[in-house]
Amino acid sequence: MIGAWAAGRTLADCRTAAEAAGLGHARLNRPTEVLTHPQLSGRDRWREIGSPVGPVLGLLPPPESPDWDQRLDPIPALGQHTEAVLRELVFDAAAVAPMRQGEGIDEG
């Protein structure tokens, strides 16, 4: 019912009606609009993060607490942590070597 009602109205009309009714609402931003959103800049949510191609901008995670030291580690290069993950999954060096060369897992 709401979709049918909203389909015949502009975004501005829908927002006005929601505000008049005391309903919480928000507009869905496009990714490019998020980059310039005044609330994110005003609340100092952007951080520079290292990456294999140089620094990029990233957002702090949404939960906040004065007791938390939020961090954004550098973005890893492709395959940078592959061996550590495979070792954590209990693959030994003999099993990891062919995987690193793209031969897959020997299930025999």
Q: How many CA atoms lie within 13 A of 106 on its CB side?
A: 11
Percent of the chain with pLDDT over 90: 37
Looking at the DSSP bridge assignments, the partners of residue 56 are 49
Note the pLDDT of residue 63: 84
pLDDT one-digit tens code per residue, 41-76: 999 999 999 999 999 999 988 888 889 888 889 999
pTM of the model: 0.55
Give the pair of three-digit tokens for residue 28: 């869905």
Is residue 33 within 8 A of residue 18, CB to CB? The reply is no
Average pLDDT over residues 18-35: 89
Cα separation of 49 and 59, whole Å? Answer: 9
Question: Average of pLDDT values for 2-21?
Answer: 92
CA distance linking residue 14 with residue 3, whole number of Å: 11
pLDDT at 7 over 90: yes
